[in-house]
Structure 1
């Protein structure tokens, strides 16, 4: 398996390359300090199996590079690793085609778990980005919007979308990138039932893919009042 690391800090690349070794046996890592260098590597060596890309790159930005990678290599999973992990940045990366977003503040165990999930066709996001727990601390209301500026829409719940409690549980797990088989085991549901609930969830969000569901849920500020069943 070949992993391409795109980051302008050599020390960070070298550290991640070492931490990736337990991911699979015989792992090879290619390193590039810019998108331009990465494209050159891919042209000379052929396609990789996974790309990890930073967003704050010199020259072609990481977001632009991500878009270009998805256009030229649509089968290649690309994962963003960035120190900027605010909600808008994560959504922009997903819109550009990222299959996951790993904050640089994550532990090596979180990184490896996220990459295993992505390689299994799942989607990994920082858990705190979209899923607000009921126990979250109360915050002061935002200031009134300036004249001519629309206020952000209020947060919505799965019930507001017409979803049943079970469908909400499926959505909760979908947003964490869990595959259908794992959702079925976790909720004690058959695979066909999970697929039926997934279809209902996608219709409720007016999307057709899991990635679009993640983006849609994030943009509407979807809130889960209670965690999904263990």
Structure 2
């Protein structure tokens, strides 16, 4: 498994790499001090299973580092690390398709939990981010428990695209479907999760502790 760590602070970057190499997993860690260097490694053929990305990178402002990575390499999951713990920033990162967000102040156990969940196809959000969201209703909790049986295999593929932050047109292209068909699948997914938009859907999965692999392993509904 190849994990690309992109952070311009040498000590922190080395600390993340050390933690990864001692996490009990078979990983090969590639360190990059600049985002453009990371893009070059990927363009040269590096097959990354995960990118761990510092939010603030030289030459990029705001969330541009996440935007650039998601735009250029949408197939690679991104786990954001940041000293900024503002829930609004967390939500924006998820809006852009990040698979998770870990504050740099988080203990190592939280980092391990995030890493495990993201690599299994889930979305990790810090507890502080989840706690400020509107409490889940009983109807939502019940719906999340039945989700695997409510979605077809194709809808689970569309849900993965939603989690990755892909727009409908990209999901349609990747799956060989029409835009109209994807839009219909998205509407069904939102209904199944009892949410009103795509970002709420991602938060719902995170709060319910549901990963895409959980959905893939669920038996299809019986008609």
TM-score higher than 0.5: yes
Who is 1:151 aligned against? none
Which residues of 2 match residues 81-230 of structure 1 at below 5 A? 81-132=81-132, 158-159=136-137, 165=138, 167-169=139-141, 184=145, 191-192=148-149, 200=191, 202=193, 204-207=194-197, 209=198, 211-214=199-202
For 1:61 and 1:104, the matched residues in 2 are separated by: 18
The 8 Å contact of residues 4 and 51 in structure 1, kept in 2 or not, is answered as yes
Structure 1 portions without partners, runs of 5+:
133-154, 160-164, 175-183, 218-230
For 1:18 and 1:114, the matched residues in 2 are separated by: 16
Who is 1:41 aligned against? 41
Could you list the per-position Cα deviations for residues 56-95 of structure 1 after superposition, in whole angstroms to 9, with x for gaps in the alignment?
Answer: 1111247222222222222100010011011111011112
For 1:190 and 1:35, the matched residues in 2 are separated by: 37
Report the alpha carbon displacement of residue 170 of structure 1 after superposing the two structures with TM. Answer: 5.0
Who is 2:53 aligned against? 53
Report the alpha carbon displacement of residue 194 of structure 1 after superposing the two structures with TM. Answer: 9.2
Q: How many residues align?
A: 170
For 1:69 and 1:60, the matched residues in 2 are separated by: 11
TM-score of the superposition, structure 2-length normalised? 0.65
Shift in alpha-carbon separation, 1:191–1:103, aligned structure 2, 3 A: same
Who is 2:68 aligned against? 68
Larger fraction in helix: 2
Report the alpha carbon displacement of residue 157 of structure 1 after superposing the two structures with TM. Answer: 5.2
For 2:142 and 2:12, the matched residues in 1 are separated by: 36
Report the alpha carbon displacement of residue 112 of structure 1 after superposing the two structures with TM. Answer: 1.2
The 8 Å contact of residues 81 and 104 in structure 2, kept in 1 or not, is answered as yes
Q: Secondary structure at the match of 1:130?
A: helix
The 8 Å contact of residues 54 and 80 in structure 1, kept in 2 or not, is answered as yes
1:7 aligns with 2:7: yes
Shift in alpha-carbon separation, 1:29–1:91, aligned structure 2, 3 A: same
The 8 Å contact of residues 23 and 116 in structure 1, kept in 2 or not, is answered as no
For 2:112 and 2:135, the matched residues in 1 are separated by: 31
The 8 Å contact of residues 21 and 29 in structure 2, kept in 1 or not, is answered as no
After TM superposition, which residue ranges in structure 1, 4 or more long, deviate above 6 angstroms? none
TM-score of the superposition, structure 1-length normalised? 0.63
Please tell me the root mean square deviation across aligned C-alpha atoms, in Å: 3.1
Report the alpha carbon displacement of residue 156 of structure 1 after superposing the two structures with TM. Answer: 5.4
For 1:111 and 1:69, the matched residues in 2 are separated by: 21
